Amino acid sequence: FTNIINALQALDKTYSNSEMVRKILRCLPRTWMPKVTAIEEAKNLNILALEDLLGSLMTHELSMQKKDDDEEKEKKKKKIIALKSSQTEDSEDDDDDDDDELAFI
């Protein structure tokens, strides 16, 4: 964003700080809408510095990543228990029946 703004300034097109703040808030994805709404409600966008906005957004992004990582770790902690099966032979008659079945296969 800053690269584009700097290139536009070289072409004599300048934006006020307020316009840049509003443009950044508009381009954020839907998952960020609660944060955008909170910023719009809590701060005066006409005097909010671009650096302050970017710092706030970066902090929010880091906290979201930390929460996702914590949730992922919790999922990995859950153990999956598998039961082992074993066969016991009660009589030799069952063994003979099994041999007959194998012969047919």
With respect to residue 2, please indicate whether it lies within any of the assigned structural domains: yes
pLDDT digits (tens, 9 = 90+) for 34-64: 999 999 999 888 999 999 999 999 999 999 9
Is the per-residue pLDDT at 94 higher than 60? no
Q: For residues 75-101, b (16+ Cβ closer than 10 Å) or e, as one string?
A: eeeeeeeeeeeeeeeeeeeeeeeeeee
49-74 in b/e form (b: 16+ CB < 10 A) is ebeebeebbeeeeeeeeeeeeeeeee
Q: Report if residue 50 sits inside a domain.
A: yes
- Is 34 among the domain residues? yes
This prediction's pTM: 0.60
For position 39, what pLDDT does the model report? Answer: 93
Angle, alpha carbons 17-7-35 (nearest 5°): 40
41: its two tokens: 């409600």
- Predicted local confidence at residue 71, as pLDDT: 83
Residue 11 falls inside a structural domain: yes
